[in-house]
């Protein structure tokens, strides 16, 4: 023992691992308080979810291995397909509209204007306001008979304005509209941060060459923002597939099943009905979709960088 210690002290080569071991301990001690909570309530559940999807388990019975039975049941279940279609519909509406709105506002705000702070505040505020309040207000604004939106539409000559959240056709567009309104401020700030990294010389050089504002936008702004757009796209896609709160409060998935999304089915099957296995199988599908979309976006990003 004493020899070992002496050896360590005497040769620098031996001293190294000892220092490393102590820094390992120090490193872990910093991470541990957070890691304990993170591991028990996030990491373990993520892994458990995969296992659960192969089990038949409700809150009372003992778990039983059933292989792919949960997935088979899902494939033959119409509610699942409706929810999957609706989730995709929501994503296809929400992602591009939010992206374009956020980029547009960011470009407008990136000019040297007075009152920029006011505009930024106004546009960002919806993102941090109480979701229930926002959903209820939108439901009132979109109220079919006397709501301000339809009053306005009638005033400009639309004879038969949509029934919005009471109509199976218009409920999803209504939800998408409210969600774009809510989210655009967040992504606008990401874009503003991206715009600030573009060197002004690029624009000046282009202006000297006689490029129009539109050309400068397409040939300088858009390519320079590619990393930001990539990040925004991934964040938007993930959040779209996760949508729950806004739908739950605005329409509860209705009318009928017109706005029912995957996360609501997972919630209802798993937590309300206590079908843990079946619900986890659906959540695995959701996870795989999000993962695939993210990986495809990574691929496309890398190809366009080449």
Partner 1 sequence: MTATIRRGAAYVLLTCLSLAVLVPFAWMLSASLKLDNEVFSVPIRWIPQEFHWDNFTRIWDRIPLLTYLRNSAFLSLVITFLQVLTGSFAAYGFAKVRFPGRDALFLAYIATIAVPWQAYMVPQYVIMQKAGLVNTHLSLILLQAFGAFGVFLMRQYYLTIPDELSEAARLDGLSEYGIWARIILPLSKPALASLALLTFVNTWNDYMGPFIYLTDNNLWTVQLGLRSFVGLYDAEYAMIMTGSVLSVLPILVIFLLGQKYFVQGIATSGMK
CB closer to partner 1 out of 96 and 148? 148
CA dihedral 225, 226, 229, 234 (to 10 degrees): -150
Residues 213-232 that bind partner 1 (CB under 8 A): 213, 227-228, 231-232
CB closer to partner 1 out of 77 and 245? 245
The two tokens of residue 242 are 């996760």
Q: How many CB atoms are closer than 10 A to CB 10? A: 9
Yes or no: say if 95 and 236 are a contact pair by the CB < 8 Å rule: yes
- Contact between 7 and partner 1 by CB under 8 A: the answer reads no
- Contact between 125 and partner 1 by CB under 8 A: the answer reads yes
The rounded distance, in Å, linking the Cα atoms of 259 and 82 is: 9
Least Å distance, CB 2 to partner 1, is 27
- Contact between 105 and partner 1 by CB under 8 A: the answer reads yes
- Judged by CB under 8 A, the stretch of 23-31, 73-81, 157-165, 217-225 that binds partner 1 is 23-31
The rounded distance, in Å, linking the Cα atoms of 64 and 57 is: 7
Of 6, 48, 222, 296, the residue at the interface with partner 1 (CB under 8 A) is 48
- Contact between 103 and partner 1 by CB under 8 A: the answer reads no
CB closer to partner 1 out of 162 and 269? 269
Residues 180-209 that bind partner 1 (CB under 8 A): 181, 186, 189-190, 192-194
Which one, of 103, 85, 84, lies nearest residue 95 by Cα? 103
Would you call the peptide bond into 255 cis, given omega within 30 degrees of 0 as the criterion? yes
Of 77, 143, 166, 301, the residue at the interface with partner 1 (CB under 8 A) is 143
Of 43, 92, 205, 300, the residue at the interface with partner 1 (CB under 8 A) is 43
133-161 as b/e: b if 16+ CB within 10 A: ebbeebbebbbeeebebbeeeeeeeeeeb
Of 176, 241, 253, 260, the residue at the interface with partner 1 (CB under 8 A) is 241
Which one, of 139, 195, 104, 120, lies nearest residue 128 by Cα? 120
CA dist 109 → 195, 198, 274 (Å): 10, 15, 49
- Contact between 295 and partner 1 by CB under 8 A: the answer reads no
Least Å distance, CB 179 to partner 1, is 13
Helix axes 2-10, 12-38, angle to 10 degrees: 100
Residues 151-180 that bind partner 1 (CB under 8 A): 151
The two tokens of residue 142 are 């979109």
- Judged by CB under 8 A, the stretch of 76-84, 90-98, 168-176, 241-249 that binds partner 1 is 241-249
Of 23, 168, 215, 292, the residue at the interface with partner 1 (CB under 8 A) is 23
Of 20, 226, 299, 302, the residue at the interface with partner 1 (CB under 8 A) is 20
């Amino acid at each position: 023992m004493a020899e070992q210690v002496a050896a360590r002290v005497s040769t620098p080569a031996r001293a190294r691992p000892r220092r490393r071991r102590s820094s390992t301990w120090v490193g872990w001690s910093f991470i541990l308080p957070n890691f304990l909570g993170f591991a028990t309530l996030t990491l373990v559940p993520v892994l458990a979810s995969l296992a659960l999807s192969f089990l038949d388990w409700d809150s009372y019975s003992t778990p039983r291995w059933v292989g792919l039975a949960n997935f088979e049941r899902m494939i033959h279940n119409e509610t699942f397909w409706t929810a999957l279609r609706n989730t995709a519909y929501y994503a296809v509406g929400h992602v591009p509209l939010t992206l374009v709105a956020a980029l547009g506002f960011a470009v407008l705000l990136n000019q040297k204007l007075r009152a920029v702070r006011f505009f930024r505040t106004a546009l960002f505020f919806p993102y941090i306001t109480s979701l229930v309040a926002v959903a209820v207000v939108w439901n009132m604004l979109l109220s079919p008979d006397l709501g301000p939106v339809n009053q306005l539409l009638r005033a400009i000559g639309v004879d038969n304005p949509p029934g919005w959240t009471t109509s199976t056709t218009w409920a999803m567009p209504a939800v998408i509209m409210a969600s774009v309104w809510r989210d655009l401020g967040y992504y606008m700030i990401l874009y503003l941060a991206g715009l600030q990294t573009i060197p002004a010389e690029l624009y000046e050089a282009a202006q000297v060459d006689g490029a129009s504002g539109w050309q400068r936008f397409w040939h300088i702004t858009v390519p320079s923002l590619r990393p930001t757009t990539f990040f925004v796209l991934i964040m938007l896609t993930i959040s779209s597939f996760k949508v729950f709160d806004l739908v739950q409060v605005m329409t509860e998935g209705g009318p009928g099943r017109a706005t029912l999304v995957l996360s609501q089915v997972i919630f209802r099957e798993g937590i309300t009905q206590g079908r843990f296995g079946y619900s986890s199988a659906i959540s695995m599908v959701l996870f795989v979709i999000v993962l695939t979309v993210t990986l495809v976006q990574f691929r496309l990003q890398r190809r366009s960088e080449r």
